A and B are shown apart, each in its own frame.
Chain A
Amino acid sequence: MPPSAPLPDLKQVPLRPPAQIMRLARMGSFFATRLSFMRVLVRELMTGGWTVARPLFDIDAVGYGTAVYRVSRPGRSYSLVAFSHELAPELRTDRVIAEAWDATFALCDGEPDAGEIERLRQNVPRQEAGRYRASDIVLCRANRSLRYFDHVAERLAVGLQPDAALTREVGYLMRTTAVYGNGKFGIADRSRIEGRAELAGPFQAEMLAVYLVRLFTLDLVEHVARAKAPGTAIALAPGIRRYIGIGNATGLGMAPFLMTHPVLIGNWMLARETALARVRAVAVMGGRTRRRLGELLLRARQHVSQWRVADPRQSARIVELESDLARLGEKIADATPDGLYRWAENHLGLEAQELVVSLLIEIFPELVDELARHMAAPEANRFDPAMQMVDFRHILERDYDWALRIDCTDPRQRARFWYVSEEKLEPRLGNRHEEPGAELERPFAIAHDIQALHRALQAEDPRQTLAVFLMRQPQFRHSVRRAQIVARHPYGEIRDNLVGEACLPIDLLRCKLSFFGASKFDPKSDRWTRIAMYQGAPFPSDLASPDADDWAFPVLP
Chain B
Amino acid sequence: MIVSRNEIEAACQRAALGVGLAHGFAEDATAIAARLAADGEDVAAIMLAALSSIEENGCPIPCFNHDERLWRSAEQAIVPALVAGPCAADLLRADPGAVVQIGRTDEPKVIAAALALAGLDAAEVPLERGQSMRLTARPGRPLATPRPPAEGFTVADAVWRELLKLAARTYVPASEQSRLRGAGAGLNDAD
Query: Which of A's residues lie within 8 Å of B, judged by CB?
Result: 92-97, 131, 133-134, 143, 145-147, 182-192, 249, 251-253, 381-382, 384-386, 419-423, 425-431, 435-437, 440, 443, 465-468, 470-472, 474-481, 505, 524-528
Bound-state Cα–Cα, A167 to B102, Å:
69
Option from A134, A382, A436, A474 in Cβ contact (under 8 Å) with B172: A436
Binds A, one of B45-53, B56-64, B126-134: B56-64
CB of B70 closer than 8 Å to a CB of A:
no
Bound-state Cα–Cα, A428 to B126, Å:
44
> Nearest-CB distance from A383 to chain B (Å)?
9
Kindly supply a per-residue 1/0 record for chain B positions 159-176, scoring 1 wherever the CB is within 8 Å of any chain A CB and 0 otherwise.
000000000101111110
Interfacial residues of chain B within 17-68, with CB under 8 A of chain A in the complex:
22-28, 30-31, 61-64
Residues of A contacting B172 with CB < 8 Å? Answer: 419-422, 428, 430, 436-437, 440
Evaluate contact between A94 and B185: CB separation under 8 angstroms. Answer: yes
Evaluate contact between A467 and B94: CB separation under 8 angstroms. Answer: yes
> Nearest-CB distance from A341 to chain B (Å)?
34
Smallest Cβ-Cβ distance to A148: which chain B residue: B191
Bound-state Cα–Cα, A471 to B22, Å:
11
CB of B158 closer than 8 Å to a CB of A:
no
Known contacts A134-B148, A528-B186, A466 near B177 by CB under 8 Å: no
Smallest Cβ-Cβ distance to B171: which chain A residue: A422
Option from A146, A187, A192 in Cβ contact (under 8 Å) with B147: A192
Option from A134, A422, A443, A465 in Cβ contact (under 8 Å) with B23: A443
> Nearest-CB distance from B81 to chain A (Å)?
14
Bound-state Cα–Cα, A147 to B31, Å:
47
> Nearest-CB distance from B16 to chain A (Å)?
12
Bound-state Cα–Cα, A192 to B150, Å:
8
Evaluate contact between B24 and A478: CB separation under 8 angstroms. Answer: yes
Evaluate contact between A381 and B27: CB separation under 8 angstroms. Answer: yes
Evaluate contact between A188 and B22: CB separation under 8 angstroms. Answer: no
Option from B22, B25, B171, B186 in Cβ contact (under 8 Å) with A421: B171
Evaluate contact between A251 and B185: CB separation under 8 angstroms. Answer: yes
Known contacts A189-B6, A423-B179, A471-B90, A528 near B24 by CB under 8 Å: no
Bound-state Cα–Cα, A253 to B185, Å:
11
Option from B87, B147, B170 in Cβ contact (under 8 Å) with A440: B170
Known contacts A252-B184, A477-B22, A93 near B189 by CB under 8 Å: yes
Evaluate contact between A134 and B31: CB separation under 8 angstroms. Answer: no
Evaluate contact between A481 and B182: CB separation under 8 angstroms. Answer: no
Residues of A contacting B118 with CB < 8 Å? Answer: 382
Identify 11 residue pairs between A and B in the complex whose beta-carbon atoms are under 8 Å apart, listed by A's number.
Answer: A133-B2, A191-B148, A385-B89, A385-B90, A430-B178, A465-B95, A474-B25, A475-B24, A477-B23, A477-B27, A527-B184
Q: Give 9 closest A-B pairs by Cβ, nearest first.
A: A477-B24, A183-B6, A527-B184, A428-B182, A183-B4, A524-B186, A437-B172, A385-B90, A467-B94
Evaluate contact between A134 and B6: CB separation under 8 angstroms. Answer: no
Residues of A contacting B177 with CB < 8 Å? Answer: 435
Bound-state Cα–Cα, A470 to B28, Å:
13
Option from B27, B148, B171 in Cβ contact (under 8 Å) with A192: B148
Bound-state Cα–Cα, A191 to B37, Å:
13
Residues of B contacting A385 with CB < 8 Å? Answer: 89-91, 93-94
Interface range, B side? 35 or more
* Max chain B Cβ within 10 angstroms of own Cβ: one of A134, A252, A386, A429: A134
Bound-state Cα–Cα, A525 to B50, Å:
43
Known contacts A186-B4, A191-B147, A526 near B184 by CB under 8 Å: yes
Smallest Cβ-Cβ distance to A194: which chain B residue: B145
Kindly supply a per-residue 1/0 record for chain B positions 136-152, scoring 1 wherever the CB is within 8 Å of any chain A CB and 0 otherwise.
00000000011110111
Smallest Cβ-Cβ distance to B146: which chain A residue: A191
User: 5 other contacts beyond A189-B152, A466-B90, A478-B26, with CB at 8 A cut-off?
Assistant: A252-B184, A437-B172, A466-B94, A475-B24, A524-B185
Evaluate contact between B91 and A468: CB separation under 8 angstroms. Answer: yes
Known contacts A187-B4, A477-B23, A134 near B151 by CB under 8 Å: yes
> Nearest-CB distance from A270 to chain B (Å)?
22
Kindly supply a per-residue 1/0 record for chain B positions 84-101, scoring 1 wherever the CB is within 8 Å of any chain A CB and 0 otherwise.
000101110111000000
CB of B3 closer than 8 Å to a CB of A:
yes
CB of B76 closer than 8 Å to a CB of A:
no
Residues of B contacting A472 with CB < 8 Å? Answer: 61-62
Evaluate contact between A422 and B83: CB separation under 8 angstroms. Answer: no
Smallest Cβ-Cβ distance to A388: which chain B residue: B94
Known contacts A134-B4, A420-B170, A474-B24, A430 near B152 by CB under 8 Å: no
Smallest Cβ-Cβ distance to B32: which chain A residue: A381
Option from B22, B87, B178, B185 in Cβ contact (under 8 Å) with A95: B185
Residues of A contacting B175 with CB < 8 Å? Answer: 436
> Nearest-CB distance from A348 to chain B (Å)?
29
Residues of B contacting A95 with CB < 8 Å? Answer: 183, 185, 189
Evaluate contact between A189 and B63: CB separation under 8 angstroms. Answer: no
Bound-state Cα–Cα, A475 to B83, Å:
12
Evaluate contact between A471 and B91: CB separation under 8 angstroms. Answer: yes
Option from B25, B83, B152, B190 in Cβ contact (under 8 Å) with A94: B190
Bound-state Cα–Cα, A182 to B148, Å:
12
Bound-state Cα–Cα, A161 to B60, Å:
71
Evaluate contact between B183 and A428: CB separation under 8 angstroms. Answer: yes
Bound-state Cα–Cα, A251 to B25, Å:
29
* Max chain A Cβ within 10 angstroms of own Cβ: one of B1, B4, B93: B4
Evaluate contact between B183 and A426: CB separation under 8 angstroms. Answer: yes
> Nearest-CB distance from A541 to chain B (Å)?
32
Evaluate contact between B93 and A93: CB separation under 8 angstroms. Answer: no
Residues of A contacting B170 with CB < 8 Å? Answer: 420, 440
Bound-state Cα–Cα, A184 to B91, Å:
35
> Nearest-CB distance from B72 to chain A (Å)?
12
* Max chain A Cβ within 10 angstroms of own Cβ: one of B83, B172, B175, B185: B172
